[in-house]
Chain A
Amino acid sequence: MQERNYDVLVIGAGAAGMAAALKVAEEGLKTAIVDREPFLGGILPQCIHNGFGVHLFKEELTGPEFAERFIQDVVKSDIDIYLNTTATSMAVHQPVKQVNLCSSEHGVFRINARAIVLAMGCRERNRGNLGIPGTRPAGIFTAGLAQRLINIDGYMPGKRVVIVGSGDIGLIMARRLTWTGAEVLAVVEILPYPSGITRNIVQCLNDFNIPLYLSHIITKIEGKERVEAVEITPLENGAPNYTKTFKVECDTLLFSVGLIPENELTQSAGIKINPETGGPLVDTRLMTSAEGVFACGNVLHVHDLVDWVSDEAQRCGKELINFLQGKTEKIEQGKVIAGANLKYVLPNRYRLGEKNRFSMRSLIVRDKATLVVRQGEKTIRQFTLRHVKPAEMFHVELKQEDLNDLVSNGELLPIEFSLS
């Protein structure tokens, strides 16, 4: 088998992979980036709507434009690009990591690298994840697949559409379908509040008078060859009230019901996964349980904004450089705990002697929420947050002086975040 040697291998050439690769290549490290698609950019080229880059570039770009800013830099850099290339397995618990790959151009081959960045992104939850009763006709798509069909391949998935879930991709697709001549009849959301951001509710649903049914679920899919209708039922006190079930005739059903980090490769390599995020457990260096293997972007935890993905990936690249230069090989770290009303806090460790940045997701919807950080019994920091909701990830930074050198049983005391 053909073997190639690099300092760093980045798996995935989307927003995260490109930003991380650029950062490490800048430092002069010999870097390769692989992607299974025939193009760079990951999911961005199919996200033709605008609203990307507001934080990073201070302007509103479309997905393809945002991707192209990074692609141009990757092309100009010394990074080796392997497209149409799939990573099939890897051995990572050793100083030189081995990744097995296959591509039409190189056949089956191997890349040896001193460090790896996992940047494989995420994939969509689908009908199977929800368990909706009914027949199995054609016309059922995930929202992202429909987006690809329309925006890249130029096919219309259907004419009369019902969308399940009010996540941002579903909302964006409601507008996209309307603008391409389809009729969107309903958006059905199980929760009592929308999962997408307000801007998308206004510009993608309200602009076209598309009804949003909150606290409703799909209780049946009808149709033999093709979807013919769905039954929609309201939830009352958490249970479906079938006396109020109504039917909507449609030929297409789109699912926009959440994303799952894509970690089969990670898991098969024996890297530990955080059940709350679906991504690998990472320490303060964004390093996984395998030394020298880092993770960033949606493979680590699902983001709402690509700007934060790029930001996290650049930070990941910087940590990787420090690690390879031996600056952070042995640093003392304490545990980070997600307490009351928080789904998760990331990274899963903190360190002393510098500022620590954390990303987290709330389990509650609240105005003027209070985030308390405790180290042992002691409250070390308190933040007031204007508005929190599960759909919007937020970030806080702890200063060097916030964190104390408190040790118990030879370990740094854990810090716990809680929201009220």
Chain B
Amino acid sequence: MEKEVICLSCPNGCHITVQETSPGEFQFQGAKCERGEVYAYEEITDPKRVVTAVVQTDSEEMPYIPVKTDKPIPKRYINPLLVQLYKQKISLPAKCGQVIIQNYMETGVNVVITRTFPLDLGK
């Protein structure tokens, strides 16, 4: 099996060809540095992404509030997580950093709110 991965560790953006020589054994070609191989290995075996979304609230003034996973989460969890988030309803006020899902599916990843509302301008 041969796959191409574009490394995102730095702006070089190396195109790395990954070959699975035997199950679990990989050969890398095209990486200008070691970080590329580390990146490509993870991209092939267990790619992760930070997920951001908006979740419904009980407020008319701010009907949706933005959230994110506090760490990258394995890709296979993304769709089920989104389904769960879209079912959720948050009651305001909410604070930036407030956890709404703790340790999602035992991944060690939390979902947190990324915007404070209402925000007291105090003047």
Contact = CB atoms under 8 A, between A and B. Distances in A.
Chain A interface mostly helix, strand, loop or mixed?
A: helix
A50 B52 contact: yes
B54 A48 contact: yes
A146 to B, nearest CB: 13
Contacts of B115: 45, 64-65, 68
A387 B51 CA distance: 29
Interface string A326-351: 00000000000000000000000000
Contact of A151 (B66, B68, B75): B66
Contact of A75 (B12, B66, B68, B121): B121
A279 to B, nearest CB: 26
A55 to B, nearest CB: 13
Interface in B56-105: 56, 63-64, 66, 68, 75, 78, 82, 96
Interface string B96-123: 1000000000000000001110011111
Q: Give the interface size bracket for B toward A.
A: 20 to 34
A384 B19 CA distance: 35
Interface core residue of A150, A153, A179, A180 (most chain B CB under 10 Å): A179
A62 B121 CA distance: 21
B98 to A, nearest CB: 12
Contacts of B116: 68
B63 A154 contact: yes
A198 interface: yes
Interface string A188-218: 0000000000110111001100000000000
A406 to B, nearest CB: 36
Nearest to B64: A154
Given A50-B52, A151-B54, A198-B6, A81 B11 contact: no
Contact of B119 (A71, A203, A387): A71
Given A49-B52, A151-B54, A198 B13 contact: yes
A203 B123 contact: no
A284 B47 CA distance: 46
B6 A48 contact: no
A60 B64 contact: no
A180 B11 CA distance: 29
Interface string A162-198: 0000000000000000011000000000000000001
A152 interface: yes
A201 B114 CA distance: 24
B49 A202 contact: no
B54 A64 contact: no
B118 to A, nearest CB: 10
A80 interface: yes
A151 B64 contact: yes
A386 interface: yes
Contacts of B121: 40, 75, 81, 83
A83 B118 CA distance: 15
B82 A199 contact: no
B28 to A, nearest CB: 17
Nearest to A65: B114
A198 B11 CA distance: 8
Contacts of B54: 48, 150-151, 154
Interface string A57-85: 00010101100100100010000110100
B64 A152 contact: yes
Contact of A48 (B11, B12, B53): B53
Contacts of B44: none
A81 B123 contact: yes
Nearest to A77: B123
A206 B115 CA distance: 29
B8 A198 contact: yes
Given A39-B119, A68-B115, A75-B121, 6 more contacts: A48-B54, A81-B123, A83-B121, A151-B66, A154-B56, A202-B6
Closest 3 CB pairs of A and B: A64-B115, A48-B66, A198-B13
Interface of B: 6, 8, 11-13, 49-54, 56, 63-64, 66, 68, 75, 78, 82, 96, 114-116, 119-123
Interface of A: 39-40, 45, 48-50, 60, 62, 64-65, 68, 71, 75, 80-81, 83, 150-154, 179-180, 198-199, 201-203, 206-207, 386-387, 392
17 contacts: A39-B119, A40-B119, A48-B53, A50-B68, A75-B119, A75-B123, A80-B123, A81-B121, A154-B54, A154-B63, A179-B78, A179-B82, A203-B8, A206-B6, A207-B49, A386-B11, A386-B12
